[in-house]
Structure 1
Amino acid sequence: MKSIEINTSLEVLKNKKTLLYPTDTVWGIGCDATSETAVAKIFHIKKRTESKSLIILVDGLEMLQQYIPIISKPVFNYIQRISKPTTIIYNNPIGLAKNVVAKDNTVAIRIVQNNFCKQLITKFGKPIVSTSANRSGEPTPKSFKEIKTSILDSVDYVVNLQREEINDKVSTIVKIGTNDELIVLRE
Protein backbone atom coordinates (compact mmCIF):
# COMPACT_ATOMS: atom_id res chain seq x y z
CA MET A 1 0.00 0.00 0.00
CA LYS A 2 2.75 2.45 0.96
CA SER A 3 4.66 1.98 -2.33
CA ILE A 4 1.46 2.63 -4.32
CA GLU A 5 0.88 5.83 -2.33
CA ILE A 6 4.50 6.94 -2.83
CA ASN A 7 4.31 6.33 -6.59
CA THR A 8 0.96 8.12 -6.95
CA SER A 9 2.20 11.04 -4.84
CA LEU A 10 5.38 11.18 -6.91
CA GLU A 11 3.35 11.63 -10.10
CA VAL A 12 1.30 14.39 -8.44
CA LEU A 13 4.50 16.24 -7.48
CA LYS A 14 6.11 15.77 -10.91
CA ASN A 15 3.01 17.27 -12.53
CA LYS A 16 3.19 20.39 -10.31
CA LYS A 17 0.00 19.45 -8.50
CA THR A 18 -0.91 19.54 -4.81
CA LEU A 19 -0.97 16.79 -2.24
CA LEU A 20 -2.54 16.30 1.20
CA TYR A 21 -0.28 13.98 3.20
CA PRO A 22 0.78 12.85 6.69
CA THR A 23 4.04 14.30 8.04
CA ASP A 24 6.10 13.93 11.20
CA THR A 25 3.91 16.62 12.74
CA VAL A 26 0.38 17.37 11.43
CA TRP A 27 -1.21 16.61 8.04
CA GLY A 28 0.30 18.84 5.39
CA ILE A 29 -0.60 20.37 2.06
CA GLY A 30 2.37 20.01 -0.21
CA CYS A 31 3.87 20.39 -3.65
CA ASP A 32 7.22 20.71 -5.41
CA ALA A 33 9.09 23.42 -3.46
CA THR A 34 11.05 24.38 -6.59
CA SER A 35 7.97 25.18 -8.70
CA GLU A 36 6.48 28.67 -8.40
CA THR A 37 3.34 27.46 -10.19
CA ALA A 38 2.77 24.62 -7.71
CA VAL A 39 3.54 26.84 -4.70
CA ALA A 40 1.04 29.46 -5.93
CA LYS A 41 -1.65 26.75 -5.82
CA ILE A 42 -0.87 26.15 -2.13
CA PHE A 43 -1.31 29.84 -1.33
CA HIS A 44 -4.62 29.77 -3.21
CA ILE A 45 -5.83 26.69 -1.28
CA LYS A 46 -4.80 28.24 2.06
CA LYS A 47 -6.31 31.62 1.07
CA ARG A 48 -3.05 33.10 2.28
CA THR A 49 -0.90 35.91 0.91
CA GLU A 50 2.46 35.00 -0.55
CA SER A 51 4.15 37.27 1.97
CA LYS A 52 3.69 34.54 4.61
CA SER A 53 6.34 31.87 4.16
CA LEU A 54 5.87 28.09 4.03
CA ILE A 55 7.86 25.23 5.54
CA ILE A 56 9.95 23.06 3.25
CA LEU A 57 10.75 19.39 3.92
CA VAL A 58 13.98 17.69 2.85
CA ASP A 59 15.03 14.05 3.31
CA GLY A 60 18.41 14.70 4.93
CA LEU A 61 21.53 16.83 5.27
CA GLU A 62 22.73 16.17 1.73
CA MET A 63 19.55 17.57 0.19
CA LEU A 64 19.52 20.46 2.67
CA GLN A 65 23.01 21.48 1.53
CA GLN A 66 21.86 21.66 -2.10
CA TYR A 67 19.52 24.53 -1.14
CA ILE A 68 21.43 26.00 1.81
CA PRO A 69 25.04 25.87 0.61
CA ILE A 70 26.52 27.64 3.64
CA ILE A 71 25.78 25.99 6.98
CA SER A 72 28.03 27.03 9.85
CA LYS A 73 29.66 24.41 12.07
CA PRO A 74 27.48 25.27 15.14
CA VAL A 75 24.28 24.93 13.05
CA PHE A 76 25.56 21.74 11.42
CA ASN A 77 26.35 20.27 14.87
CA TYR A 78 22.89 21.29 16.13
CA ILE A 79 21.23 19.55 13.18
CA GLN A 80 23.17 16.35 13.95
CA ARG A 81 21.70 16.29 17.50
CA ILE A 82 18.04 16.92 16.61
CA SER A 83 15.76 14.14 17.86
CA LYS A 84 12.30 15.70 17.41
CA PRO A 85 10.74 17.57 14.48
CA THR A 86 12.65 20.84 14.23
CA THR A 87 12.24 23.52 11.58
CA ILE A 88 15.19 25.85 11.09
CA ILE A 89 14.93 29.23 9.39
CA TYR A 90 17.96 29.53 7.12
CA ASN A 91 19.42 32.57 5.37
CA ASN A 92 20.14 32.87 1.64
CA PRO A 93 18.57 29.74 0.12
CA ILE A 94 19.17 28.84 -3.52
CA GLY A 95 17.23 26.80 -6.07
CA LEU A 96 13.79 27.06 -4.44
CA ALA A 97 10.68 28.68 -5.87
CA LYS A 98 10.81 32.44 -5.23
CA ASN A 99 7.40 32.33 -3.56
CA VAL A 100 8.60 29.99 -0.77
CA VAL A 101 11.41 32.37 0.17
CA ALA A 102 10.49 35.14 2.63
CA LYS A 103 11.11 38.81 1.81
CA ASP A 104 14.17 38.81 4.10
CA ASN A 105 15.67 36.00 1.95
CA THR A 106 15.09 33.26 4.52
CA VAL A 107 13.34 29.91 4.31
CA ALA A 108 12.05 27.47 6.93
CA ILE A 109 13.30 23.90 6.33
CA ARG A 110 12.83 20.69 8.30
CA ILE A 111 14.66 17.41 7.80
CA VAL A 112 11.64 15.14 7.89
CA GLN A 113 11.45 12.13 10.20
CA ASN A 114 8.23 10.56 8.87
CA ASN A 115 9.05 7.40 6.89
CA PHE A 116 6.49 8.02 4.12
CA CYS A 117 7.66 11.62 3.62
CA LYS A 118 11.34 10.68 3.66
CA GLN A 119 10.83 7.98 1.01
CA LEU A 120 8.68 10.27 -1.13
CA ILE A 121 11.19 13.14 -1.01
CA THR A 122 14.11 10.79 -1.71
CA LYS A 123 12.36 9.37 -4.78
CA PHE A 124 11.29 12.85 -5.92
CA GLY A 125 14.84 14.16 -5.50
CA LYS A 126 13.67 17.62 -4.48
CA PRO A 127 12.18 19.28 -1.38
CA ILE A 128 8.45 19.56 -0.91
CA VAL A 129 6.27 22.19 0.74
CA SER A 130 4.59 21.33 4.02
CA THR A 131 1.94 23.65 5.38
CA SER A 132 -0.86 22.68 7.76
CA ALA A 133 -4.08 21.36 6.22
CA ASN A 134 -6.27 24.36 6.99
CA ARG A 135 -7.21 27.75 5.60
CA SER A 136 -5.07 30.59 6.88
CA GLY A 137 -6.24 31.76 10.32
CA GLU A 138 -8.22 28.58 11.11
CA PRO A 139 -7.15 26.02 13.74
CA THR A 140 -4.66 23.36 12.66
CA PRO A 141 -6.31 19.91 12.40
CA LYS A 142 -4.77 17.32 14.73
CA SER A 143 -6.07 14.36 12.75
CA PHE A 144 -7.26 13.53 9.26
CA LYS A 145 -10.89 13.56 10.49
CA GLU A 146 -10.55 17.23 11.49
CA ILE A 147 -9.53 18.37 7.98
CA LYS A 148 -12.34 20.38 6.42
CA THR A 149 -14.02 19.25 3.20
CA SER A 150 -13.03 22.54 1.54
CA ILE A 151 -9.35 21.53 1.92
CA LEU A 152 -9.94 17.90 0.89
CA ASP A 153 -11.77 19.08 -2.23
CA SER A 154 -9.15 21.67 -3.20
CA VAL A 155 -6.02 19.47 -3.35
CA ASP A 156 -5.23 17.27 -6.33
CA TYR A 157 -4.54 14.10 -4.32
CA VAL A 158 -5.11 12.86 -0.75
CA VAL A 159 -2.67 10.21 0.51
CA ASN A 160 -4.44 7.14 1.87
CA LEU A 161 -2.12 6.42 4.83
CA GLN A 162 -2.12 7.13 8.59
CA ARG A 163 -5.65 8.50 8.54
CA GLU A 164 -6.54 7.08 11.96
CA GLU A 165 -3.57 8.57 13.79
CA ILE A 166 -3.86 11.67 15.93
CA ASN A 167 -0.85 13.92 15.74
CA ASP A 168 -0.81 17.14 17.68
CA LYS A 169 2.97 17.59 17.54
CA VAL A 170 4.25 20.84 16.18
CA SER A 171 7.85 21.33 15.23
CA THR A 172 10.29 23.34 17.24
CA ILE A 173 11.17 26.44 15.23
CA VAL A 174 14.70 27.83 15.39
CA LYS A 175 16.09 30.88 13.57
CA ILE A 176 19.74 31.38 12.74
CA GLY A 177 20.84 34.78 14.01
CA THR A 178 23.29 37.19 12.40
CA ASN A 179 26.24 35.64 14.27
CA ASP A 180 25.07 32.05 13.63
CA GLU A 181 23.50 31.87 17.08
CA LEU A 182 20.38 29.67 17.30
CA ILE A 183 17.27 31.48 18.50
CA VAL A 184 14.35 29.27 19.54
CA LEU A 185 11.10 30.85 18.31
CA ARG A 186 8.81 27.95 19.29
CA GLU A 187 9.66 25.07 21.62
Structure 2
Amino acid sequence: MLKDEVNKALEIVQAGGMILYPTDTIWGIGCDATNTDAVKKIYQLKQREESKSMIILLDTDNKLQSYITEVPDIAYDLIEFAENPLTLVMPGARNISPALIAADGSVGIRVSSHPFCQQLIQRLRKPLVSTSANISGHASPQYFSKIDQEIINGVDYVVDIDQHSTEAKKPSTIMRLNPNGTFEFIRR
Protein backbone atom coordinates (compact mmCIF):
# COMPACT_ATOMS: atom_id res chain seq x y z
CA MET A 1 0.00 0.00 0.00
CA LEU A 2 2.69 2.55 1.02
CA LYS A 3 4.84 1.52 -1.96
CA ASP A 4 1.87 1.87 -4.36
CA GLU A 5 1.02 5.33 -3.05
CA VAL A 6 4.67 6.43 -3.30
CA ASN A 7 4.75 5.19 -6.93
CA LYS A 8 1.53 7.02 -7.86
CA ALA A 9 2.62 10.25 -6.15
CA LEU A 10 6.10 10.04 -7.72
CA GLU A 11 4.58 9.80 -11.21
CA ILE A 12 2.42 12.91 -10.59
CA VAL A 13 5.24 14.96 -9.02
CA GLN A 14 7.73 14.04 -11.77
CA ALA A 15 5.15 15.17 -14.36
CA GLY A 16 4.91 18.60 -12.68
CA GLY A 17 1.71 17.89 -10.75
CA MET A 18 0.57 18.69 -7.21
CA ILE A 19 -0.21 16.13 -4.52
CA LEU A 20 -2.14 16.30 -1.26
CA TYR A 21 -0.28 14.15 1.24
CA PRO A 22 0.20 13.26 4.92
CA THR A 23 3.33 14.49 6.68
CA ASP A 24 4.82 14.22 10.17
CA THR A 25 2.79 17.37 10.94
CA ILE A 26 -0.43 18.43 9.18
CA TRP A 27 -1.54 17.41 5.66
CA GLY A 28 0.42 19.20 2.97
CA ILE A 29 0.18 20.25 -0.64
CA GLY A 30 3.37 19.40 -2.44
CA CYS A 31 5.29 19.29 -5.70
CA ASP A 32 8.86 19.01 -6.98
CA ALA A 33 10.71 21.88 -5.26
CA THR A 34 12.84 22.45 -8.39
CA ASN A 35 9.84 22.91 -10.73
CA THR A 36 8.81 26.59 -10.78
CA ASP A 37 5.62 25.98 -12.80
CA ALA A 38 4.45 23.41 -10.26
CA VAL A 39 5.34 25.73 -7.36
CA LYS A 40 3.30 28.54 -8.95
CA LYS A 41 0.30 26.20 -9.28
CA ILE A 42 0.38 25.68 -5.50
CA TYR A 43 0.40 29.46 -4.90
CA GLN A 44 -2.65 29.75 -7.19
CA LEU A 45 -4.52 26.89 -5.50
CA LYS A 46 -3.87 28.32 -2.04
CA GLN A 47 -4.61 31.88 -3.24
CA ARG A 48 -1.37 32.83 -1.53
CA GLU A 49 0.93 35.75 -2.29
CA GLU A 50 4.20 34.58 -3.80
CA SER A 51 6.06 36.77 -1.31
CA LYS A 52 5.01 34.31 1.43
CA SER A 53 7.46 31.48 0.87
CA MET A 54 6.72 27.79 1.40
CA ILE A 55 8.98 25.18 2.98
CA ILE A 56 10.70 22.17 1.49
CA LEU A 57 11.01 18.68 2.94
CA LEU A 58 14.06 16.44 2.86
CA ASP A 59 14.31 12.76 3.80
CA THR A 60 17.65 13.11 5.60
CA ASP A 61 19.75 15.93 7.05
CA ASN A 62 22.82 14.93 5.04
CA LYS A 63 21.17 16.58 2.00
CA LEU A 64 21.05 20.03 3.65
CA GLN A 65 24.32 21.12 1.98
CA SER A 66 22.74 20.55 -1.44
CA TYR A 67 20.14 23.26 -0.80
CA ILE A 68 21.83 25.67 1.65
CA THR A 69 25.18 27.33 0.88
CA GLU A 70 26.51 27.29 4.45
CA VAL A 71 24.81 24.96 6.92
CA PRO A 72 25.70 25.92 10.51
CA ASP A 73 26.90 22.87 12.49
CA ILE A 74 24.19 23.47 15.09
CA ALA A 75 21.52 22.71 12.45
CA TYR A 76 22.29 18.98 12.67
CA ASP A 77 22.01 18.97 16.48
CA LEU A 78 18.76 20.94 16.39
CA ILE A 79 17.25 18.45 13.93
CA GLU A 80 18.54 15.40 15.81
CA PHE A 81 17.37 16.50 19.25
CA ALA A 82 14.13 18.32 18.39
CA GLU A 83 11.21 16.82 20.30
CA ASN A 84 8.69 18.05 17.74
CA PRO A 85 8.94 18.44 13.96
CA LEU A 86 11.28 21.38 13.31
CA THR A 87 11.52 23.66 10.29
CA LEU A 88 14.77 25.61 10.01
CA VAL A 89 14.75 28.82 7.98
CA MET A 90 18.27 29.38 6.68
CA PRO A 91 19.84 31.86 4.24
CA GLY A 92 21.77 30.80 1.16
CA ALA A 93 19.03 28.73 -0.50
CA ARG A 94 20.13 27.08 -3.75
CA ASN A 95 19.21 24.34 -6.25
CA ILE A 96 15.46 24.89 -5.79
CA SER A 97 12.84 26.94 -7.65
CA PRO A 98 13.42 30.70 -7.23
CA ALA A 99 9.69 30.91 -6.39
CA LEU A 100 10.47 29.17 -3.06
CA ILE A 101 13.33 31.43 -2.04
CA ALA A 102 12.38 34.37 0.19
CA ALA A 103 13.49 37.93 -0.65
CA ASP A 104 16.36 37.55 1.85
CA GLY A 105 17.64 34.41 0.10
CA SER A 106 16.37 32.02 2.76
CA VAL A 107 14.22 28.90 2.65
CA GLY A 108 12.55 26.81 5.35
CA ILE A 109 13.62 23.16 5.42
CA ARG A 110 12.26 20.28 7.49
CA VAL A 111 13.59 16.73 7.56
CA SER A 112 10.40 14.67 7.60
CA SER A 113 10.08 11.53 9.70
CA HIS A 114 6.89 10.36 7.91
CA PRO A 115 7.55 7.10 5.99
CA PHE A 116 5.57 8.27 2.94
CA CYS A 117 7.49 11.56 2.72
CA GLN A 118 10.85 9.88 3.25
CA GLN A 119 10.26 7.29 0.53
CA LEU A 120 8.82 9.77 -1.97
CA ILE A 121 11.69 12.26 -1.50
CA GLN A 122 14.25 9.46 -1.71
CA ARG A 123 12.74 8.21 -4.99
CA LEU A 124 12.28 11.74 -6.40
CA ARG A 125 15.91 12.61 -5.51
CA LYS A 126 14.78 16.21 -4.97
CA PRO A 127 13.12 18.09 -2.12
CA LEU A 128 9.34 18.20 -1.90
CA VAL A 129 7.40 21.41 -1.36
CA SER A 130 5.25 21.30 1.75
CA THR A 131 2.61 23.86 2.60
CA SER A 132 -0.50 23.47 4.72
CA ALA A 133 -3.52 22.08 2.85
CA ASN A 134 -5.68 25.18 3.15
CA ILE A 135 -6.66 28.33 1.31
CA SER A 136 -4.42 31.18 2.49
CA GLY A 137 -5.90 32.85 5.55
CA HIS A 138 -8.05 29.83 6.51
CA ALA A 139 -7.19 27.59 9.49
CA SER A 140 -4.72 24.77 8.88
CA PRO A 141 -6.60 21.44 8.87
CA GLN A 142 -5.61 19.18 11.77
CA TYR A 143 -6.56 16.06 9.83
CA PHE A 144 -7.79 14.97 6.40
CA SER A 145 -11.56 15.34 6.90
CA LYS A 146 -11.04 19.05 7.75
CA ILE A 147 -9.43 19.82 4.36
CA ASP A 148 -11.47 22.16 2.15
CA GLN A 149 -13.03 20.42 -0.88
CA GLU A 150 -11.57 23.16 -3.11
CA ILE A 151 -8.06 21.98 -2.15
CA ILE A 152 -8.91 18.29 -2.66
CA ASN A 153 -10.40 19.04 -6.10
CA GLY A 154 -7.49 21.33 -7.04
CA VAL A 155 -4.61 18.88 -6.69
CA ASP A 156 -3.62 16.23 -9.22
CA TYR A 157 -3.50 13.37 -6.72
CA VAL A 158 -4.69 12.73 -3.16
CA VAL A 159 -2.48 10.21 -1.35
CA ASP A 160 -4.54 7.39 0.12
CA ILE A 161 -2.71 7.06 3.45
CA ASP A 162 -3.82 8.29 6.91
CA GLN A 163 -7.07 9.74 5.51
CA HIS A 164 -9.18 8.23 8.29
CA SER A 165 -6.92 9.31 11.13
CA THR A 166 -8.44 11.90 13.44
CA GLU A 167 -5.27 12.43 15.45
CA ALA A 168 -5.02 16.20 15.68
CA LYS A 169 -1.66 17.28 14.27
CA LYS A 170 0.08 20.61 14.66
CA PRO A 171 2.30 22.56 12.27
CA SER A 172 6.05 22.33 12.89
CA THR A 173 8.08 24.57 15.15
CA ILE A 174 9.87 27.15 12.98
CA MET A 175 13.29 28.61 13.81
CA ARG A 176 15.37 31.10 11.87
CA LEU A 177 18.99 29.91 11.94
CA ASN A 178 21.80 32.28 11.01
CA PRO A 179 25.14 31.19 9.50
CA ASN A 180 26.89 32.08 12.77
CA GLY A 181 24.69 29.60 14.65
CA THR A 182 22.41 32.13 16.38
CA PHE A 183 18.71 31.40 16.09
CA GLU A 184 15.27 32.75 16.94
CA PHE A 185 11.84 31.10 17.10
CA ILE A 186 9.34 32.19 14.46
CA ARG A 187 6.62 29.72 15.57
CA ARG A 188 6.75 27.47 18.62
What's the TM-score bracket when you normalise by the shorter of the two chains? over 0.9
How far the C-alpha of 1:35 sits from its partner, in A, is 0.7
- 1:147 matched to which residue of 2? 147
Equivalent residues of 2:55, 2:131 under 8 A apart: yes
- 1:179 matched to which residue of 2? 180
Report how many aligned residue pairs link the two structures. 187
- 2:169 matched to which residue of 1? 168
Structure 2: runs of 5 or more not aligned: none
- 2:16 matched to which residue of 1? 16
Matched, 1:5 2:2: no
How far the C-alpha of 1:174 sits from its partner, in A, is 0.5
Aligned partners of 2:112, 2:130: CA distance in 1, in Å? 10
Aligned partners of 1:144, 1:74: CA distance in 2, in Å? 34
How far the C-alpha of 1:142 sits from its partner, in A, is 0.9
- 2:88 matched to which residue of 1? 88
Q: Which moved more, 1:15-24 or 1:70-79?
A: 70-79
> Which letter maps to 2:170?
K
Q: Which moved more, 1:107-116 or 1:166-175?
A: 166-175
Please give the secondary structure, in 2, of the residue aligned with 1:185. Answer: strand
Normalised to the residue count of structure 1, the TM-score between the two structures is 0.96
Equivalent residues of 2:70, 2:179 under 8 A apart: no
Q: Which moved more, 1:171-180 or 1:104-113?
A: 171-180
Aligned partners of 1:111, 1:72: CA distance in 2, in Å? 16
Q: How does 1:25-174 map to 2 (within 5 A)?
A: 25-165=25-165, 166-174=167-175
How far the C-alpha of 1:83 sits from its partner, in A, is 3.5
Normalised to the residue count of structure 2, the TM-score between the two structures is 0.95
Equivalent residues of 1:75, 1:182 under 8 A apart: no
How far the C-alpha of 1:148 sits from its partner, in A, is 1.1
Please give the secondary structure, in 1, of the residue aligned with 2:108. Answer: strand
Equivalent residues of 1:40, 1:99 under 8 A apart: yes
- Quote the RMSD (CA, aligned, Å): 1.2
How far the C-alpha of 1:170 sits from its partner, in A, is 1.7
Identity %: 40
| 1:133-163 per-position Cα deviation (integer Å, ceiling 9, x unaligned) | 1100001111111111111110000001101
Q: Which moved more, 1:177-186 or 1:148-157?
A: 177-186
Aligned partners of 1:144, 1:80: CA distance in 2, in Å? 28
